[in-house]
Homo-oligomer: A and B are copies of this chain.
Amino acid sequence: MKLYKANIIFTREKDQFEVIPHGYVGVEDGRVVAVANHADAFDKEAEEIIDYGDCLLIPAMNDMHVHASQYRNQGISMDLELLPWLNQYTFPEEARYSDPHYARRMYSRFVRDLWRYGTMRAVAFATTHLESTRVLMELFREAGLGAFVGKVDMDRNAIDALHEPADEAIANNEALINEWNAPDGLVKPIITPRFIPSCSPAMLRACGELARKYHMPVQSHLSENAGEIVWVRELEPQSHNYGDAYDRYGLFGQTPTIMAHCVYTAGDELELMARRGVMVAHCPTSNLNVSSCMAPVRTFLDHGVKVGLGSDISGGHDLSILRMMVYAIQVSKMCYVRDKSKHFLTLSEAFWIATKSAGSFFGRVGSFEPGYEFDALVIDDRALNHDNYSLLQRLERFIYLGDDRHIAVRYCRGREIPEPSVVK
């Protein structure tokens, strides 16, 4: 067992932080044994004590929705709403990933930048291309980061270069499942029908069957934009709502499922998500940038719907999940201004959502409770710390003001993760 000494902060429950000044986390075989105030409080012998002095030690970040293949478009082309934005900017860029060399160059930078911002686990969209998707998975594995990586499935309403017949899509997914589905793997496939408009009923049905056959998780998009929702109603007239359309194909919680956005989710759709245990990937910057709207996160929590945070590059512009916490709080404040019964997110709630709640999609990830995988960040915030701040104020300042410069060391599953290399 190794002991890590620092100012330890994490959340067991959403309503409060656990704070252990100059405390110890014991770690063995990549998992937390216990957290304690003193080194002699552990039952086991410590083979080594790694002392991070006055640094903060917090659980690492999880990005629950990110389009790795839109990395080049990060921070540009913010002038359209979702549907024209997809056609003009996003699909043409994704088509470039038919070239695995281009994919390797871009994806290697993407993975390096996830690392930079302290994101140790991600749920990522690749593209429709099998070979490029493999490249992304290999880069995650080489980096030592955890990821669910989705080969995207589409057979209509995108551009020809990104369409793929359902049987081919399923065969390609099966190839990835056979290659990558080791029980303890850090990098795994996830079934990824892009969204209802870009998948025919045959494709959706095949995706649902594939998920059930291999008990594979599922990711997609849900109720992001008003125009999109109208379109889905036309495409799936027999469904009660957008979520119900996925549900009819076995893509809504029959296996672990994460749905990005849910900006307009309410009523029956909300109840169905709670019942099925479908997680929302809340992407506040993307929802603002693409003029969607503001997702009702307090309502999700009140209804027992699971929530994590997503950067959603390149609808979102910022890879930092710290900054997503800030935006999530801000967006919840705008919902609160309209309806004071929906209290805005507290800092501990935003932190819990980003770490323990999101992390549950990967297993026992996102906390320092016993048995959790040790995914952690060592925060050296001296540059932010120009006066006597409490530990929680230091954490708050790091979340609001900090960046990659203040993350000194990163751990995923107990292993210290060096900077991933970038392909020229």
Contacts and interface: CB of A to CB of B under 8 A. Distances in A.
Interface of A: 72, 74-76, 78-79, 106, 109, 285, 288-289, 291-294, 317-318, 326, 329-331, 333-334, 336-337, 344, 346-347, 384, 386-387, 389, 393, 396-397, 399-401, 403
Contact of A317 (B74, B326, B389): B326
Nearest to A284: B330
Copies in the complex: 2
Given A109-B386, A317-B326, A333 B76 contact: no
A117 to B, nearest CB: 11
Contacts of A293: 334, 337
B317 A78 contact: no
B317 A75 contact: no
A347 B75 contact: no
A397 B75 contact: yes
A400 B291 contact: no
Given A75-B384, A109-B386, A289-B330, 9 more contacts: A75-B399, A75-B400, A76-B393, A76-B396, A78-B347, A106-B387, A289-B333, A291-B333, A318-B401
A161 to B, nearest CB: 19
Contacts of A289: 330, 333
B288 A333 contact: yes
- Is chain A's binding surface mostly helix, strand, loop or mixed? helix
B330 A288 contact: yes
A331 to B, nearest CB: 8
Contact of A294 (B334, B397, B401, B403): B334
A76 B334 contact: no
A109 B387 CA distance: 11
Given A317-B326, A386-B109, A396 B288 contact: no
A72 to B, nearest CB: 5
A278 to B, nearest CB: 25
Contacts of A399: 75
Contact of A397 (B76, B337, B384, B386): B76
8 contacts: A75-B399, A76-B393, A78-B329, A288-B333, A291-B344, A317-B326, A318-B400, A403-B403
Contacts of A389: 76
A76 B397 CA distance: 6
Nearest to A386: B109
Nearest to A225: B337
A365 B72 CA distance: 34
A293 to B, nearest CB: 5
Given A291-B336, A293-B334, A334-B294, A401 B347 contact: no
Contact of A401 (B75, B288, B346): B75
Nearest to A340: B291
A97 B155 CA distance: 65
Given A288-B330, A288-B334, A78 B401 contact: no
A80 to B, nearest CB: 11
Contacts of A347: 78-79
Contacts of A334: 288, 291, 293-294, 334
A400 B346 CA distance: 26
A399 B318 CA distance: 11
Nearest to A326: B317
Contacts of A291: 333-334, 336-337, 344
A398 to B, nearest CB: 8
Nearest to A291: B333
Contacts of A344: 291
